[in-house]
C-alpha cells in the first residue's frame, strides 16, 4: 500500500498533492489528488470525497473546483480520484461516455471490461485504506460529493454504505442510470442487459428499495444542457418525496453543467459537509 508523490504545492496554507499507486482493484496505476489543510501535529481531519464526471481525471476539480479556501477554513481533507482505469492495456470505447474517463463507479462483470473497470471496489474499499494509511484522515468523519457521473457515484456509494458517510451531496448528478441514455449505454456495457442488477447502481432505485440517507444536498443548474435527457433531477425529487427522506434539492437559475457552476457552489457544499462532519 505504498503511494508515490507526483507533485505537492503549498496552497491556502495547506498542501495540494497528487499521488499515484498500483491498484489491485483496477490492475492499473491510478492517480488521485489530496488537499490537506494546515493542522496541528497528530491532528486528524475529516475527509470529503469528490467523485468527478465523464471525461475528467483528478485534475479537473483540483484545478477548477475552488475548494481549497473552504477546506482550509473548515479543516477538511479533500480527496479527488480518477474516473476510470487508464493505460494502454485498458479497453476503451470511441464515445466519451463509456470506457476510459467513464467508469461509472461500478464493478464491471462483462468482458472486456471486467478485468480493469472496478471503480466501485476502488472507491469503496481500496482508496479509503490508502487514504487512511497515508494522510492525517479521521475515517470516522467522511463526507462524499461529486459531479454528474460522480454525483451518481457519490449518491449510490453513500446509499449502499449506510453510516459510512456523515454527509452526502452532489452537483448535477445522474440520478437514475436506469432512465437515461448515459446509464443505458454504460450499465449495459459494464454489467449486462439484466436490469435488476442495475438497481444497486441507481440512486432512485436504491431509495425505492429502502436505502436512506440522513440528509442530502443537491444543486442543479437550470441551463444545464444535460438536465432533461440525462440528469432528470425530478426523478430524485420524486424518490426522496416518496421515501419522506430529508433532502435539499436546489435548482440554480441559469447555471450550466460546467466547473463555473461547480465552483460557484463548492464553498457552500464544503460548509454544509463541515457542519455535519464536525457536529
Catalytic residue among 52, 148, 158, 176: 148
Question: Rule CB under 8 A: is residue 225 a binding residue for a copy of itself?
Answer: no
Smallest gap, in angstroms, from Cβ of residue 18 to a copy of itself?
Answer: 11
Query: For residues 214 and 163, what is the distance between their CA atoms, to the nearest angstrom?
Result: 9
Active site residue 241: no
Give the helix/strand (H/E) hosting 238. helix 233-242
What is the length of the chain?
279
The total of other beta-carbon atoms located within 10 Å of residue 177's CB is: 28
Instruction: Tell me, residue by residue from 9 to 48, as one string, x for binding to a copy of itself by CB under 8 A and - for no binding.
Output: xxxxx--x--------------------------------
Binding residue for a copy of itself, selected from 21, 64, 195, 212, defined by CB under 8 A: 64
Query: For residues 214 and 162, what is the distance between their CA atoms, to the nearest angstrom?
Result: 9
Q: Which stretch binds a copy of itself (CB under 8 A): 60-68, 120-128, 138-146, 197-205?
A: 60-68
Active site residue 224: yes
Question: Rule CB under 8 A: is residue 221 a binding residue for a copy of itself?
Answer: yes
Exposure class string for 184-223: b at 16+ Cβ within 10 A, else e:
ebbbbbbbeeeeeebebbbbbbbbeeebebeebbbbbbee
Task: Scan for cell 421515501, then name that residue.
Answer: 243
Instruction: State the catalytic residues.
Output: 148, 224, 257
- Enumerate binding residues for a copy of itself (CB under 8 A): 9-13, 16, 63-64, 66, 68-69, 221, 223, 254-256, 258-261, 263-264, 267
Amino acid at each position: 500500500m505504498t503511494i508515490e508523490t507526483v507533485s505537492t504545492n503549498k496552497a491556502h496554507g495547506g498542501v495540494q498533492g497528487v499521488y499515484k499507486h498500483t491498484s489491485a482493484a483496477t490492475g492499473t496505476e491510478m492517480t488521485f489528488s489530496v488537499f490537506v489543510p494546515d493542522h496541528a501535529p497528530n491532528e486528524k481531519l475529516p475527509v470529503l470525497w469528490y467523485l468527478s464526471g465523464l471525461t475528467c481525471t483528478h485534475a479537473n476539480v483540483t484545478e477548477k473546483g475552488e475548494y481549497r479556501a473552504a477546506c482550509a477554513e473548515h479543516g477538511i481533507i479533500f480527496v479527488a480520484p480518477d474516473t476510470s482505469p487508464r493505460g494502454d492495456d485498458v479497453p476503451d470505447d470511441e464515445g466519451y461516455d463509456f470506457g476510459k474517463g467513464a467508469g461509472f463507479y461500478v464493478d464491471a462483470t462483462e468482458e472486456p471490461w471486467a478485468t480493469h473497470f472496478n471503480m466501485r471496489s476502488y472507491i469503496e474499499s481500496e482508496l479509503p485504506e490508502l487514504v487512511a494509511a497515508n494522510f492525517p484522515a479521521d475515517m470516522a468523519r467522511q463526507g462524499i460529493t461529486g459531479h454528474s457521473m460522480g454525483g451518481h457515484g457519490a449518491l449510490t456509494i453513500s446509499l449502499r454504505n449506510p453510516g459510512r458517510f456523515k454527509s452526502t451531496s452532489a452537483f448535477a448528478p445522474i440520478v437514475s442510470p436506469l432512465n437515461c441514455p448515459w446509464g443505458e449505454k454504460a450499465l449495459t456495457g459494464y454489467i449486462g442487459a439484466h436490469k435488476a442488477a442495475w438497481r444497486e447502481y441507481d440512486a432512485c432505485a436504491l431509495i425505492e428499495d429502502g436505502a436512506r440517507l440522513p440528509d442530502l444536498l443537491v444543486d442543479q443548474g437550470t441551463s444545464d444542457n444535460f438536465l432533461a435527457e440525462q440528469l432528470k433531477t425530478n426523478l430524485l425529487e420524486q424518490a426522496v418525496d416518496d421515501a419522506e427522506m430529508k433532502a435539499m434539492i436546489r435548482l440554480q437559475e441559469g447555471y450550466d453543467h460546467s466547473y463555473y457552476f461547480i465552483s460557484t457552489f463548492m464553498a457552500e457544499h464544503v460548509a454544509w459537509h463541515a457542519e455535519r462532519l464536525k457536529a
